[in-house]
Amino acid sequence: MSRGWLYWWLKDPRDYLKASRMPTFRLKDDEIRDLVEYLMGLDAENSPPHPITALASAAGRSDTGAVIVSESRCVSCHTINDRGGKLAPELERIGDKVRPEWLPNFLRNVHYYQPEKRMLEYNFTDQNALDIASYLLGEFSEQAYALPDVAGQGPQSLSRKEERAQQGLKLFAKYGCGGCHAVGGRGRLPKVGPKLTNIGNRLESLLDFGTQRDVVPTLYNWLFMKIKKPDIFDSSSAMPNFYLTDKEAFEITVALLGNRDNHYASEFLVRKTERSLYKKPSGEFGELFDRYSCITCHSIDRYGGTLSTVPLTSEGSKVKFEWLRDYLINPSALRPILTERMPKFRMTEREASLMADYIKRVYVSDEIPRFFEFELKPADAETGRQLFQSYQCVNCHITDGAGGYVGPDLDNTGNRLEAGWVLKWLMNPLKYKPETIHPDFGFTEPEARQLTAYLMTKRQAHP
């Protein structure tokens, strides 16, 4: 990243990004410069395995980059022009934040730079990465984050820079930056704050209210005020300001007051929720699963992301192999009104086939009958068509090119879905998706069978 951007970010993160979760540490200007020198020195050690040597400004095509960004659905996780997701950093001023030679290399080697992050690893070529970088660096920059001059000082000597970097390392430890950030391959450093174990038992006579004389000296008041404004009792406090609302500070205070060694009646205890059965997949599928960060958006056995409305727990019983393989290669919108859609990964056919085969074999439900489609009869399909019309399903779903946009398009149901899953869904949609707005019509099994038979006739020819 650029030195200027880093300086102003450390000075006041919320001035740059109101929604930032990083607190403000009330750093002095010299402390900020020391931290900048230390952090920028770390960056020199992080070289990509296969560097892209051309600069984005010289080799990238901005118009092509804009198309790739749109295709890749970056807006599902990143904010662009005040629109988009909140899972990842905003991109509105990325041109001020990162160096042009870093960004294309990052796009080609995401997990090399950030192995702990869940950003998707796309199969971008070097040219794709340069095109995207050219677009982002040119379109999203205000050029407003220059490193301020130091009055009365000329260019710093090498020894002065080294001195600042050493001081920055001490500050990094003093302010507990290692509690959230890993550096130098050493992992996160120990926390610097006092232990909060049994803080609810702390004696009020031991609390220091500083110069605050008009406050009732209770543990509740001390905790609430400290959380709201960490330096209110001691201006030298290293605890940062998280800019919490009164409600947030109150909730944290209540949680801390409950952290005590007293025994409570069982009716006041919060029960643990049912543990997830999720196990991280291994083998070649596991490697692809990690590379494309599937768990960031999808959930499996109640574990993972919620950006996608489609859990993968029993996806193998739901969709057909050929459709899933083709969808992974070239995802299309199943519900046009949804903002978040599956990004285009530029996945190879071999990768897509391997992932689709694994999902079909492993992520299945024993409750959903296999090969049910072979039991359906033409007479069932005709009765199902009449049921479809009588329940006015077209108000929410598209069939024969017309209908509503609330639910998924049904014109390709026969190629996309397994008949057994359609049958079970129609009989009890809330069981398979508790938050669904699809009504439970109370279909009997014969009615669900007939509707399934009709829907399985809806097929689109492959291009």
> Is domain 372-455 classified as CATH 1.10.760.10?
yes
Q: Measuring CA to CA, how many Å separate 331 from each of 300, 325, 326, 351?
A: 20, 10, 8, 14
Strand partners, 399: 402
Q: What is the mean predicted confidence (pLDDT) over 326-341?
A: 75
Supply the pLDDT for residue 173: 86
Domain covering 283-362 in this structure, CATH number: 1.10.760.10
Give 58's pLDDT tier (boundaries 50, 70, 90): low
Least confident of 60-69, 170-179, 204-213, 273-282: 273-282
Give 31's pLDDT tier (boundaries 50, 70, 90): very high
Give 425's pLDDT tier (boundaries 50, 70, 90): very high
pTM (2 decimals)?
Answer: 0.68
Q: What is the mean predicted confidence (pLDDT) over 420-446?
A: 92
- Fold of domain 3-139: Cytochrome Bc1 Complex; Chain D, domain 2 (1.10.760)
Domain with CATH 1.10.760.10 in the chain: 283-362, 372-455
DSSP-H helix ranges across 12-71 = 13-16, 29-43, 56-59, 62-71
Supply the pLDDT for residue 461: 76
Q: When comparing pLDDT for 453 and 57, which is higher?
A: 453
Least confident of 53-57, 77-81, 219-223, 425-429: 53-57
Answer whether residue 148 shows pLDDT above 80: no
Supply the pLDDT for residue 46: 57
Amino acid making up residue 125: T
Supply the pLDDT for residue 152: 46
Q: When comparing pLDDT for 233 and 55, which is higher?
A: 233
> Nearest CA to 428 among 439, 412, 416?
439
